[in-house]
Structures are given as C-alpha cells and as structure tokens.
C-alpha cells in the first residue's frame, strides 16, 4: 500500500509569523514612502532621453580632430600618471607587503602595515582624489598621489597574502645555510612570489588607467578632466572620441597583460 503523499516546504526564514508579516509590511510601507518622496520630473526625463540619443549617435561620428591637442594632452597626462603611480605604488607596496606578512614581520611591524593597508583600502579612489585635490590643487599631481596610495593598499595586501602562502620548506633551508635576512628574502621568498607580483602589477596598471579617467572628473587631471570638459560643453562628438580611445587602450592593456602573465608563469 503506497504511503500517502507527503508534502514539504522549506521552513520560513523567520519562524514567528507575526514578526514575519510585520517585517514584510514594514518593508513595503517604507518602499511606498520612499517612492513618494522622489520627485520625478517627466519633462526632464524626456529631455534627458533626447540628450542620451544625441550622445549615443555621437558615437557614429566621433570627433578626434577638432580638439586633438586637448585630447592628446589629456591622454599623455593620464598615461604618465598611470605609469608613474603604478611604479611608485609597487615600489612602496613591496616593503609594506613584506611588513604585513605574518610569517616574515614581527608583530608591531605587522600591525602597523596591516593598519595602513586597511585605511588605504577603505577609502574609495574618488574620495582620496577629492582630498588630494584639496591639498595640492587641481591637476595630475593629485591624480598621481591618489593612484599611488590606492596601488600601495591593493598591491601590499595581495603581496602579503601571497607571502603568507609560500612554501615554508625553502625558507627553513636557506635559513639553515646561515644566510642573512636579505639574501634569505632574495632566495627563499622572492622566487616564490615573483610571478604573482608581476601579474598583479600588470593588472594594477590596467586599473590605474581606468581610475585615472574617473578621478579626472573630480579635478585630478588627465583624460578624465578632458572628458569632463567635453561633457560640460555638450561636445558629445569629442566625448565619444575620448571614450573610444579609453576603451581601446584598456583593451590593449588587457590583452597584452594577460599575455605577459601567462608567459611569466
């Protein structure tokens, strides 16, 4: 005799039905209230749609020539900013990353480096850029400082994690030869983390170029500033040209860096 069909449904996330329904209704009420405070101006939406159409259509006729000088200037600024900040950031990230590796650094150094990394990573690039623009004024210097700081946080954290993951056997073996701390770092640790360090550096180069376009908008120089000006002037043809250039450069960087990374392994 077959057993009666038994049913099963997943237990509700909140067991108490009163509480459950109260939360559902509360959420619904909050949504309704929030929506009612948003003043949608349908006229502006309509105008915006029109501008959007113009902007999109500008991509069919990007204008690389009429503001070529400004665009070139912005590009050079951005690329310089990207390269210098990536390089400086990596060079500074290496000591910080070593200091933030549990298996290498004594406790006080470890905590200082970890704290530095946590702070520099908790601030978004745009916020850092606003701070630096306020400190050193408009222009690529603020951008350079911003990207350097962001690079240190990013690279140091990942480098420290990679160092903590190295095979401890060669570390012991080189220590047992009587090598000092620097040769030990150079022989036992460096070969183990180098491929990843190179890969991450190239990846960060990518990121920094993209970020350089973004932070330009808050005044940190580079192609972002040029783009911002073009947008303010409703020069959508110029803006389209700039965006296409950014996309092209990012794609080239992406392609070549993945190539190099594969080769390094």
Partner 1 sequence: MLRLEGLTKRYPTGDLALAGVSLHIPAGQVAALIGPSGAGKSTLIRCVNHLVQPTAGRIYLHGEDISRLRGRALRRARRRMGMIFQEFALIERLTVMENVLSGQLGYVGFWRGFLRRFPAAVVDQAFTTLERVGLLELVDKRADALSGGQRQRVGIARALLQNPEILLVDEPTASLDPKTSRQIMRLICEVCAERNLAAIINIHDVALARLFVPRVIGLRAGRMVFDGAPEGLTPEALTQIYGEEDWTQTTREGAGPAGSEADAPAHREVAIDRDRLAGIR
**Residues forming the site for partner 1 (CB under 8 A):** 167, 169-170, 172-180, 182-184, 186-188, 191-192, 194-195
What is the 3 state secondary structure string of 122-149? HCCHHHHHHHHHHHHCCCHHHHHHHHHH
Reference 86, options 142, 148, 132, 143; nearest CA is: 148
- Report, in Å, the least distance between residue 112 CB and partner 1: 23
b/e per residue 178-199 (b: at least 16 CB within 10 A): eeeeeebbebbbeebbeebbbb
In 10 A of CB 118, how many CB atoms? Answer: 12
Radius of gyration from C-alpha coordinates of the chain:
26
Residue 95 or 195 with smaller CB distance to partner 1: 195
| Shortest spacing between CB 173 and partner 1, in angstroms | 4
Nearer to partner 1, 50 or 165 (CB): 165
State both tokens at 193: 């983390």
Q: How far is the CB of 105 from partner 1 (least distance, A)?
A: 18
Q: How far is the CB of 50 from partner 1 (least distance, A)?
A: 59
Distance CA 82, CA 68 (A): 21
Q: Which of 157, 139, 130 lies closest to 222 in space, CA to CA?
A: 139
- Whichever of 131 and 198 has its CB closer to partner 1, that residue is 198
Nearest CB to partner 1, comparing residues 188 and 200: 188
Share of the chain residues as helix, strand and coil, in percent rounded to the nearest 5: 80, 0, 20
* CB 195, min distance to partner 1, A: 8
Instruction: Name the residue nearer to partner 1 (CB basis): 139 or 170.
Output: 170
If the CB atoms of residues 66 and 186 are measured against partner 1, the closer one turns out to be: 186
Q: At its nearest, how many Å lie between partner 1 and the CB of residue 198? A: 12
């Amino acid at each position: 005799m077959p057993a009666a069909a038994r049913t099963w449904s997943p237990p509700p996330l909140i067991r108490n039905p009163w509480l459950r329904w109260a939360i559902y209704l509360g959420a619904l009420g909050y949504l309704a209230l929030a929506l009612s405070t948003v003043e949608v101006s349908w006229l502006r939406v309509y105008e915006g749609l029109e501008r959007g159409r113009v902007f999109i259509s500008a991509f069919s006729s990007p204008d690389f020539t009429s503001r070529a000088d400004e665009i070139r200037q912005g590009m050079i600024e951005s690329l310089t900013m990207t390269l210098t900040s990536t390089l400086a950031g990596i060079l500074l990230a290496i000591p910080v990353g070593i200091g933030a590796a549990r298996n290498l650094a004594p406790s006080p150094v470890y905590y200082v480096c970890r704290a530095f990394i946590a702070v520099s990573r908790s601030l978004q690039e745009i916020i850092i850029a606003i701070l630096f623009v306020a400190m050193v004024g408009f222009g690529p210097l603020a951008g350079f400082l911003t990207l350097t700081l962001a690079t240190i946080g990013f690279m140091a954290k990942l480098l420290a994690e990679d160092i903590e993951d190295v095979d401890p056997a060669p570390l012991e073996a080189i220590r047992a030869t009587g090598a000092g701390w620097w040769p030990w770092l150079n022989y036992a640790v460096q070969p183990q983390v180098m491929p990843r360090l190179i890969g991450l550096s190239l990846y960060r180069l990518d990121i920094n170029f993209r970020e350089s376009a973004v932070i330009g908008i808050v005044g940190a120089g580079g192609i972002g500033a040029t783009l911002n000006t073009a947008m303010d002037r409703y020069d959508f043809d110029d803006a389209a040209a700039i965006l296409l250039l950014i996309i092209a450069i990012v794609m080239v960087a992406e392609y070549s860096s993945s190539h190099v990374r594969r080769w390094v392994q």
